Amino acid sequence: MTNQETIFSKIIRREIPANIVYEDDLALAFKDVNPQAPVHILVIPKKPIAKLADADAQDAALLGHLLLTAKRVAQEAGLKNGYRVVINTDADGGQTVYHLHLHILGGRQMAWPPG
């Protein structure tokens, strides 16, 4: 699937509301509307990369920034005992919104393997 308009583009432009917890020039973090854990935050790039499989070498610094943003947001959310970072990618990965996003899940013990 190619880059295209998604609900996350509208959140970046503040056209629809979201509970935003962090923003900088490159990234935005907001609470997931359908939380799967006591803390469930999404970190997205402002650049509309549809999915991880579409990222390339030019995105290396941005991808690193998203991970460091996930760390920062988890710390600010008080997840002292740990947390899980998930990127669902394309159909088999269970991706539903085609704008790259990192799920930060925490506040409970995570199970493995995931469903």
Residues recognised as catalytic: 101
Q: Tell me how far, at minimum, the Cβ of 58 lies from ligand DGP, in Å.
A: 23
Told to check if 4 binds ligand DGP by CB under 6 A, we report: no
Told to check if 69 binds ligand DGP by CB under 6 A, we report: no
One-character DSSP codes across the chain: ------HHHHHHTTSS---EEEE-SSEEEEE-SS-SSSEEEEEEESS----GGG--GGGHHHHHHHHHHHHHHHHHTT-TT--EEE---HHHHT--SSS--EEEEESSPPPSS--
Count, residues near ligand DGP per rule CB under 6 A: 13
Stretch 77-106: interaction string toward ligand DGP, x if CB under 6 A:
-----------x-----xxxx---------
Told to check if 34 binds ligand DGP by CB under 6 A, we report: yes
Half-sphere exposure of 108 (CA within 13 A, CB side): 10
Smaller CB separation from ligand DGP, 36 or 75: 36
Q: Which residues bind ligand DGP (CB under 6 A)?
A: 7, 18, 30-34, 42, 88, 94-97
